[in-house]
Chain A
Amino acid sequence: MRHSTQLRIGPVGFRVGSDWRAPVALLDDLYRDYPPPQDDIPDFNVRLFAARFWRRWLRPSVQIGGDFVIPDAAPLPLAQGLLAAEMAMNLQMALGQRRYLLLHASAVERDGKALLMTGESGAGKSTLAALLMTRGWRLLGDEFVLLDPAAGMVHGFPRLISLKNEAIGVIEREAKGGRWGPLLEGTPKGAIRHLVPDVRSIAAMEQPATPALVLFPSFGFEGAEREVFPSECFVRLTQASTNYVTLGEAGFDALTGLVRGLPARAIDYPDTKTAIATVERLWGELA
């Protein structure tokens, strides 16, 4: 393709090719502190292309392609090219990742131990992970957690933190000196702005962590918490995994190994201050 770049996020290498310069230039800038793929061989290829050749110039719209595709992905305007690239990389992970059990969750690390947070879109996974990062935790990732079936450790996937709508302002106030991508308005999920993980999280992204606590946060409710038993945790995490079925028995072993003996709580929170206080208290008690 005309323009391309390569990068590695955690243990996963990508090559991104594009018909346009702008999305690649933005990726090069925002991911400038990330290493190249291992041995310069990417695990996944991503393509950003014009579905019709005149769409390179005339109301340019970005179609997402790569090693793994879904047939009905709608194109995005070129101004949202960064979002298209991020979506395409996520798509490769969701459809093609076989080495790790992939959990749709955010995670942060402290003292070698990992806190996993998973829930529906809008539950606040990314927001809480970003807030904890600003308070000294290492960000493992805001979207995917990679569970190694052999060792039971979680590997980080600290891609750009995708913040939406009200969360953008919340984190802009907290992440002083943070590096940001452009504000993307009118996306299918409203306004989106990407925050670059802090230097420490990027530098340490190859260090796995031992899972120590799982939280199922829900935003917009009175503060509450309840214990989640391993069987419920197991079922919810299979629902949060894109490749549990594909991995077969290795996935079963990985997930049963994870939930046995791992404390889990569902927490409802009305605001981020309450959530952070709850997380810190539970971490002190349980992890």
Chain B
Amino acid sequence: MTRYRAAPAATLRIVLLDVLTLVYHRASGITHVVDSPVPEMIEVLGGVPLTLDETLAALAAVHDLIDPDRNALAARLDELVAAGLVEAV
């Protein structure tokens, strides 16, 4: 089963501005302008690698998820993997 973890913290510069957050990815030199739940996802995936369900549970534990949607989370994770901000292991 696929597990996910955030790119190593040393490769990311994360700056919360207002409603949006900036993530500078040192490995690619690309600046990502992201909204919730991306910063929260990077945060919960900063430790041991988690499965999709574990990621959803971890997000629900620390944030009020209005509409927990497994498929939407999977799509967001795939985008983050493609961007290099999250690794699939």
Residues of chain A whose beta carbon lies under 8 Å from any beta carbon of chain B: 229-231, 234-235, 238, 245, 248-249, 252, 256, 259-260
A149–B31 CA distance with the chains assembled, in angstroms: 17
Q: Is the CB of B17 within 8 A of A245?
A: no
B20 touches A231 (CB 8 A): yes
State the main secondary structure of chain A at its contact with B. Answer: helix
Q: Residues of B with Cβ closer than 8 Å to A?
A: 13, 15, 17-20, 22, 24, 26, 29, 31, 33
Beyond known contacts A229-B17, A231-B22, A252-B31: 20 more, CB 8 A cutoff: A229-B18, A229-B19, A231-B19, A231-B33, A234-B17, A234-B22, A234-B33, A235-B33, A238-B31, A245-B29, A248-B29, A249-B13, A249-B29, A252-B13, A252-B22, A252-B24, A256-B15, A256-B17, A259-B17, A260-B15
A residues in contact with B20, CB < 8 Å: 231
- Report A243 CB to chain B, min CB distance, Å: 13
- Chain A residues in 8 Å Cβ range of B19: 229, 231
Query: B17, B20, B24: which has the most chain A beta carbons within 10 Å?
Result: B17
Task: State the 9 A-B residue pairs at the shortest beta-carbon distance, nearest first.
Answer: A231-B20, A230-B17, A231-B17, A252-B24, A229-B18, A256-B15, A248-B29, A231-B18, A230-B18
Question: Which chain B positions have C-beta within 8 A of A248?
Answer: 29
Closest Cβ neighbor of A229 among chain B residues: B18
A259 (CB) vs chain B CBs: closest residue: B17
Residues of B within 8 A of A231 (CB): 17-20, 22, 33
**CA gap between A217 and B44 in the complex, in Å:** 41
Known A-B contacts A231-B33, A234-B33, A252-B31; the reply to A260 vs B17 at CB < 8 A is: yes
Q: Bound state CA distance, A109 and B73, in angstroms?
A: 48
Residues of B within 8 A of A234 (CB): 17, 22, 33
Nearest CB in chain A: distance from B10 CB, A: 12
- Cα separation A231 to B13 with both chains bound (whole Å): 15
Contacts of A238 in B (CB 8 A): 31
